[in-house]
Homo-oligomer: A and B are copies of this chain.
Amino acid sequence: MSNRVVLREIGLRDGMQLVRTDLPTAHKIEWIEEAVFAGVTEIEVTSFVPAKTFPIFADAAHVAAAAIAMPALTASALAVNLRGAKDAFAAGLKKVGYVVSASEAHSLANVRRTTDEAIGEFKRIVDHRAEIGLTDQISLSCGIATAFGCTLQGDVPRHRVHEIAGKLVELGADEIMVADTVGYANPSQVEDILGECIERFPGVSITGHFHDTRGLGLANVAAAVRVGVRGFDGSLGGLGGCPYAPGATGNVNFEDMAFMLRAMGFETGINLDRLMALRRKIGAWLPEERFTGAILRAGLPSTFPIS
Contacts and interface: CB of A to CB of B under 8 A. Distances in A.
Contacts of A215: 218, 253, 256, 259-260, 293-295
Nearest to A245: B298
B303 A214 contact: no
Majority-rule SS of A interface residues: loop
Nearest to A297: B247
Interface string A253-278: 10010011001110000000000000
A155 B301 CA distance: 10
A218 B215 CA distance: 8
Give the size range of A's interface with the partner.
35 or more
A222 interface: yes
Nearest to A182: B301
A303 B216 contact: no
Interface string A200-217: 000000000000111110
Interface string A276-307: 00000000000000000111011101110000
Nearest to A295: B214
A237 interface: no
Contacts of A226: 187
A298 B149 contact: no
